[in-house]
Amino acid sequence: APRNLQVSVFTESQSGSVAVFQCSVDSNPPASWALYKGAALLATSQKEEGPASPRVSVTTGANALRVEMTGVVPEDQGTYNVTATNAHGATSRQLYFRVQSEGWLG
């Protein structure tokens, strides 16, 4: 199964309105990815499925995933799950994304 799953999230623009999730994993064969918020699938590396929301763009590399979410709103705050899957199994990691209000960034 994939190992050493690393997950991070940060906000990119001045107002914190773009969230970027970055994930990497050691996997052979290369892993396929899924990013969930709660039970809702937000992004996947399966091209034919595409992102669940027009706010989401997905970039995949060999054992790497980058998901950009624009127009971040307070409702986007919460627990996210990343799953990396290959022929031998799956591994997942949870992270909490906190939305910063504009006032914090003065």
pLDDT at site 79: 97
pLDDT at site 53: 84
C-alpha closest to that of 20 among 57, 46, 61, 64: 57
| pLDDT averaged per 10 residues, the chain (length 106) | 96 86 97 95 81 87 94 94 97 94 52
pLDDT at site 105: 47
Domain assignments of the chain as residue spans, ordered by start: 3-97
Fold of 3-97: Immunoglobulin-like (2.60.40)
pLDDT at site 103: 52
pLDDT at site 13: 78
77 exposure class (CB count in 10 Å sphere: 0-12, 13-18, 19+) = middle
